[in-house]
């Protein structure tokens, strides 16, 4: 039995010790906003924050998350009011949308570390794959959310 702190709540789950965090979230806790993409930590669709760091949950053992703060797309905001989500909407980033929760969570982590990233820094840090090719819109949304966060003093 594992006790995980997810989106501010302690949750208990019974999973095998080698279960990836992705499947603990999706199958056990029904938090399906985190997507399965490739299963080898390459695409980023499964990105969540663990203690504020972006991690690819498909290859991150659930046991490694014990005692840490896990934030999923569901916990970012209940009403899409987070500045990164608002920027994604304003810039019409999603097309098919499949990769977007991972993209958003990666952007949140990036902006916590670097509140005013350059295009080059965004390109280096945003390694998530988007089949629809929304990379230019992602960059615009990150710049927009960076400005909004700075205006809010966050």
Asked if residues 20 and 58 have their Cβ atoms less than 8 Å apart, the reply is yes
DSSP 31-70: -TTSPP--SSSSS-TTEEEETTEEEETTSSBGGGGTTSEE
For the residues 81-88, what does the mean pLDDT come to? 97
Question: What pLDDT score does 17 carry?
Answer: 87
- Average of per-residue pLDDT across 88-94: 96
Residue 107 has pLDDT above 90, yes or no: yes
In the chain, % of residues over pLDDT 90: 97
Q: For residue 69, what are the β-bridge partners?
A: 5
**What does the pLDDT read at residue 153?**
81
Q: Would strands 2-6 and 69-71 be described as parallel, antiparallel, or unpaired?
A: parallel
Average pLDDT over residues 119-148: 97
pLDDT value of residue 154: 64
Sequence-separated (6 or more) residues with CB below 8 Å from residue 2: 12, 13, 14, 15, 24, 62, 63, 65, 66
Name the average pLDDT for the chain. Answer: 96
pLDDT in tens, 43-61: 999 999 999 999 999 999 9
Q: For the residues 2-31, what does the mean pLDDT come to?
A: 97
pLDDT interval class at 98 (50, 70, 90)? very high
- Asked if the model's pLDDT at residue 111 lies above 80, the reply is yes
What is the distance between the alpha carbons of residues 33 and 25, in angstroms, rounded to a whole number? Answer: 9
pTM of the model: 0.96
Mean pLDDT across 88-92: 97
């Amino acid at each position: 039995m594992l006790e995980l702190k997810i989106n501010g709540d302690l949750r208990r789950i019974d999973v095998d010790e080698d279960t990836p965090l992705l499947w603990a979230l999706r199958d056990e806790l029904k938090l399906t906003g985190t997507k399965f993409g490739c299963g080898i930590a390459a695409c980023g669709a499964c990105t969540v924050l663990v203690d504020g760091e972006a991690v690819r949950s498909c290859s991150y053992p659930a046991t490694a998350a014990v005692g840490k703060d896990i934030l999923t797309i569901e916990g970012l905001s209940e009403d899409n009011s987070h500045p990164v989500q608002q920027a994604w909407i304003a810039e019409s980033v999603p097309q098919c949308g499949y990769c977007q929760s991972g993209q958003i969570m990666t952007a949140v982590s990036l902006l916590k570390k670097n509140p005013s990233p350059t295009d080059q820094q965004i390109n280096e840090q945003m390694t998530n794959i988007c089949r629809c090719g929304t990379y230019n819109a992602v960059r615009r949304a990150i710049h927009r959310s960076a400005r909004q966060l700075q205006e809010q003093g966050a």
